[in-house]
Each structure stands twice: as structure tokens, then as C-alpha cells.
Structure 1
Amino acid sequence: MEDRVIPFKRPGADPPGSWGVPALLLGAEMQIERERTALTQKQVLAKARVRVSPSVYSRIENGEMRIDKPAVVEVLLDALGVRPGPRRQQLLQLARDASVEGWASSVRTRARAAYREAVPDSMLRLASLEEWAVRQIVIDTNVVSGVLQTPRYRAVVTRRTLLASQRQHAERVIEVRGLRAEKFQARLPRTTFFIQRSALYADFGEPGMMVEQLQFLLRYVDDLGSPVAIRVIAVEDPLAIQVASLIRLSFAKGAFAAPDVIYTEAGGRAEFHRGPIAGEDVDGDYLDYQDLSDTVIQLAPGPMPSRELIVEALSWHRDRL
């Protein structure tokens, strides 16, 4: 185990949201080291004698947070028994890379407390991982996918769907979601969006807004050279597990060995599920959501039938003008 090398290399210049994938890899490798020594997380912290709470250590292993103090990782590696050598240096490099702020982190860091409320930790991590992703599968059951929303649609949907505790931050949430959409538009990673048919007929009392939104979707559909594809889930309820949104992110395996990550939203709760790395058992929840996304891919119609379904919805909203 001591001689195992992490196949991690940067694919060129650092992307602005680079902490997500290094944190993911660092946490997975630290967990392997801890399990190799048969230590619990509390035992590692006791050996390290460092001011890190058990919850923070758990988040580090799960790759959930930016490492704002890479030196702490060095102390934890001592407690894990990782001796000086290439592997230790690679882990320390991951810790340094995992300290780089992404655009979402920067927004929250430099803003007032109200902005911090508008950018939850789940958004920080998702935004960072998205900037690394080379392939995405996005499934939305209630609304048009966030990064495909027009400004007018985004404003209405955000105000209608925010939890009561966040409604006071609606304007800031709308702004941050708009920034995320801009970042997606600038990168355009290879992405397939699966949108529930009923979402195309959502009645927000503004048929003109829906006409504008569906016309925007058609521009993607009709651009045959675009890396973005849109499929409409025609079956009313094809999902074995109910989620409002699911994003499956894949990373460049040729550049670094980062496992896929699946992000889900359900009942106002956001969760991340990491695929296995070499020698690990597969997490049960990850398998369930992987199967779910595979099922949706199989059930959704192809590009032309999906286009027809969008056109039908567009005609329906136009008739209501």
C-alpha cells in the first residue's frame, strides 16, 4: 500500500474551481490509509493532537470541503503513518490543490453574511466539481434544469421553489444561480439533460415566460454541433427513486483517476455520492442512483421525439397568450 502511486495529473492550467476534485481524491486516499492501519477517525485525531473536530475530519475524508489549511493534512498524515516519500508528497500536493477557491467560494468569502446564506456548502462543492467534469448526465423532474434556465424563468422558479428559510435571500440566490449558468455556458461540457415532460407544461401564470424558455431549449436541440443534448422524459413517472434533481459527473480518466460523483436533491436536501476507487466496495446509495440514471437514459426518447415534445409544449403555451 505504501508504494501505491496516485495517478493524478493536472490537465493544463488550474481551473478556477479546482478544489473539488483534489479534495475528493485526497479524502478517498486518506480513508484508505486509515482503514489500512485499522484506526477510527477519533483515534487518528487523538494521535494527531490537532484542533480538528470529528465532523470536519469526516468531511475531509468525504471530500466535502475545501482544505483552507493544508498544513493540517500533513499532521494527519503523520498520525496515519504515511512516511516520507512519493506517496506522501502526492497527498500533500492534493491538499494544496484542494485549498484553491472556486468562483462560488470567492463569492461567499468576499460577500456579506446574506450572501453566505445564498451559497450553501453543497453549491460550493457542486460548482467546483462541475468545472472539472468532462461529461454530465442531468435529470430534473419538476423544472427545466438550472443552467438551462432563462433569466426570467430562473427568477420565477427560484421564488416559487425556495424553502421558507431561504426566501429572504431570493435575490441573491437568483444571482448566484445565474452565475452558475454563465459558467456552464462558457464551458459547455458534454452534457445530456433529461427533463420531465410535465415540467414543460408547468403553469406559473406566465405563458410568455414559458414560450421564451422553450424556444431557448429548442436552440440547443437544433444546434447539431453542440455538446449539449436535451431529452424529454415522456413517461409520467419512470423513476424508481423520487428525486427532484440528479447530476452525474464524470472526470477525465486519462488525466487523473477521479471516480464519478452523483449529486441529488430531494425534499430540499442535497447529497453527494462518490463512485468507488480501486480496492473499494461500491456504496449502496451510489449504485441505486447509478441504476436510476441508467434507467432514465434507456426510457427517454431520442432527439427528434424529444424535439416534438418540446414543440408541442411550446404550442400549448402560445395558445394561452
Structure 2
Amino acid sequence: MRYGPAVRRRKLGAELRRQRELAALTSREAACAVGWHQSKVSRIETGCSGVKPSDVALLLDAYKVTDPELRALLGALCGAGSADPGEGAGARRGWWYAYRDRLPPAYLDFISLESEASHLRTLETTVVPGLLQTPEYARAVTRAALNDPPPEQVEELVRVRMARQSVLRGERPLELCAVLDEAVLRHEVGGREVMAGQLRHLVTTGQMRHVRLHVLPFSAGSHIGITGPFVIFSFPRIADLDVVVLDHLTSSLYLERKEDLRAYGSAFATLRTRALSHENSLDYIAGLHDGT
């Protein structure tokens, strides 16, 4: 099952419905305004069918939505970046389109969400988050995760992972907050030299104003994070678009219910209070590097 696209469709549909209601239009009136049958508007709003960026633009025009940031976000959420490189606001960030035939759909969708999010909160219990990995570390992780795949596949996946890190650069970079279990820093992925480079990179990246790292030391004991890693995507201005992602060996699960979002948001806040401060975490990581 492809969870990601369904999540995007439902959340996009819910926001389009909200914009229609703000415009004081019925679904029938909205359909008439854009020359559609009412059933098409209903299918889009319930997430039962996909929608092209041009159709989203038509609806937003009918609802008199002029905010460029909101229009760009909703255009991107309809899959402009991953589905059509020449259409919609999201296309400018859809670099992953070139990999559409070689990457799993769930991974492409994860990249799309990551590229359009404004904030990302993540708990990692075994490996460094992909956005913070060095090429050498990413290469070692990829080999282990795929059970020694062909070298050309490894290199392509590493290129993709490095390209993903572009969200941390630019005028409005992604705000990243990561809680790292101490085990993440202790596993010598790729060997001592690779791990030393990775620790050094964490300290350097952690000095970016929009990156916050918090180490959860072994001394913290048992905690809610032992159930496994997770990622929370938040989007600009629209909290209802937030999504929680749980990774499994062969698939990813996307959670969108408000109660799930509250539970994972609360869990992350609790973990952050039990972890070291950002400044102390960078000192701790630097100390581990010095000891390698």
C-alpha cells in the first residue's frame, strides 16, 4: 500500500474544502465556477482522486486565494514535484523526478514531503538522520540496509541522499530538530575513520542556526523513544497538513490523525526535555570525536 500519496491527497483535499468554505461556496457552486461536475470537486476534497497542479490553481482562483506561499504549498502537495516536472510551483524543487523509475514510490513521496515541509522533528535510535549524513556514512548505511547491493546502486542512492540535504540550504531552509539516542553516536558505522568524519560533520552542521541536535544519553534510562524512530513533518502555516512517518524494514507508515500527531508531538517534547541541550550535545559529540 502507498500511504504517502493517500495522505497528501486527503490533506490537500481537506485544505481545499476549507478554502472553499472560507469563500462561502458550496461544492456545486465551486464546480460551476471551474466548469466541472460536482462529483469531481467532492472526490478531490475527500482524497478519493488525485488532482493536477493546474486544477488546484483553478480552484484557488475560484476561491480568490492570492497568497503565493499558500498556493505554492498546495500546488506542491498535489505532487507537482514528483509527477510532472513542467507544471506547478513544486516542480522547481522536484529534482527527484529524474529518479522516478529507480526509487520506490514511498521513498519518492517521503522526499517530496521533506522538500516542502518547513519543520522536521525526528527521533533516531540507531543511525544518523539522512539529512545529516556524510557520503561515506551514507554509503556504509546503504550497503548494510540493502544487504550488499551492486556498487552502482549504492552510489545512486548516496547521490539521492546528498541531494536531499539541499533543504538545509537556501533562503528559507528546513528547520530541523533531531533527538539522537546515544547509540546513534556509538555505532561505528563504516569503521572508526568514517565514524570520526560523521561525528565531525554533526558538530559542523549543528552550528547552523536552523539545526538543533539533542543527544539522549544512555543515562536517561528507559524512555518513550524505545518503541522506535519517527519523523514529524510540519508545513508552513497549515498545522492540519502535519504528518508522522514511521519507518519499517520494507515500508513506511504515514500517520495523519490529530490524536496521532498530538501523541507523537508530546512524545518528542518529552524526549527533548530528557536529552542534553543543543549546546551540551554538540560538546558531547565533539568529545566523542576527540576520543575516536
TM value normalised by structure 2:
0.67
> Which of 224, 233, 252 in structure 2 is aligned with 1:239?
224
Structure 2 residues without counterparts, runs of 5 or longer: 21-25, 28-37, 82-90
Deviation at residue 298 of structure 1 after TM alignment: 2.1
Q: Partner of 2:191 in structure 1?
A: 206
Task: Give CA deviations for 1:237-260 in whole Å, capped at 9, x if unaligned.
Answer: 42356223x22222222xx56532
Give the 3 Å change call, closer, same or farther, for CA 185–72 of structure 1 in structure 2.
closer
Deviation at residue 107 of structure 1 after TM alignment: 3.3
What is the DSSP-based 3-state SS (H/G/I as helix, E as strand, rest coil) of the residue aligned with 2:122? strand
Deviation at residue 21 of structure 1 after TM alignment: 10
Work out the CA distance in 1 between the residues paired with 2:187 and 2:110.
26
> Which of 62, 67, 71 in structure 1 is aligned with 2:51?
67
Contact 2:131 2:164 in 1 (8 A): yes
Work out the CA distance in 1 between the residues paired with 2:123 and 2:133.
14
Q: Partner of 2:96 in structure 1?
A: 107
Aligned: 1:86 with 2:63: yes
Work out the CA distance in 2 between the residues paired with 1:96 and 1:61.
15
What is the DSSP-based 3-state SS (H/G/I as helix, E as strand, rest coil) of the residue aligned with 1:116? coil
Work out the CA distance in 2 between the residues paired with 1:189 and 1:94.
14
Q: Partner of 1:228 in structure 2?
A: 211
| Greater Cα offset, 297-306 or 126-135 | 126-135
Structure 1 residues without counterparts, runs of 5 or longer: 1-18, 38-46, 50-56, 78-83, 276-281
Paired residue type of 1:286? L
Paired residue type of 2:201? F
Q: Partner of 2:200 in structure 1?
A: 215
Contact 1:188 1:228 in 2 (8 A): no
What is the DSSP-based 3-state SS (H/G/I as helix, E as strand, rest coil) of the residue aligned with 1:212? helix
Q: Give the percent of matched residue pairs that are identical in Structure 1 and Structure 2.
A: 21
Work out the CA distance in 1 between the residues paired with 2:111 and 2:149.
22
Deviation at residue 286 of structure 1 after TM alignment: 3.1
Deviation at residue 103 of structure 1 after TM alignment: 6.7
Number of equivalences: 256
Contact 1:104 1:123 in 2 (8 A): no
Paired residue type of 1:266? H
> Which of 98, 102, 106 in structure 2 is aligned with 1:117?
102
Contact 2:232 2:244 in 1 (8 A): yes
Deviation at residue 227 of structure 1 after TM alignment: 1.6
Work out the CA distance in 2 between the residues paired with 1:73 and 1:166.
43
Choose between structure 1 and 2 for higher RCO, CA contacts under 8 A separated by at least 6 residues. Answer: 1
TM value normalised by structure 1:
0.62
Work out the CA distance in 2 between the residues paired with 1:168 and 1:20.
32
Deviation at residue 220 of structure 1 after TM alignment: 3.2
Give the 3 Å change call, closer, same or farther, for CA 243–167 of structure 1 in structure 2.
farther
Contact 1:197 1:309 in 2 (8 A): no
* Structure with a larger share of its residues in helix: 2
**Superposed, which structure 2 residues align to 1:124-273 within 5 Å?**
124-162=108-146, 169-186=153-170, 188-204=173-189, 206-221=191-206, 223=207, 226-234=209-217, 235=220, 237-239=222-224, 242-244=227-229, 246-253=230-237, 256=238, 258-273=240-255
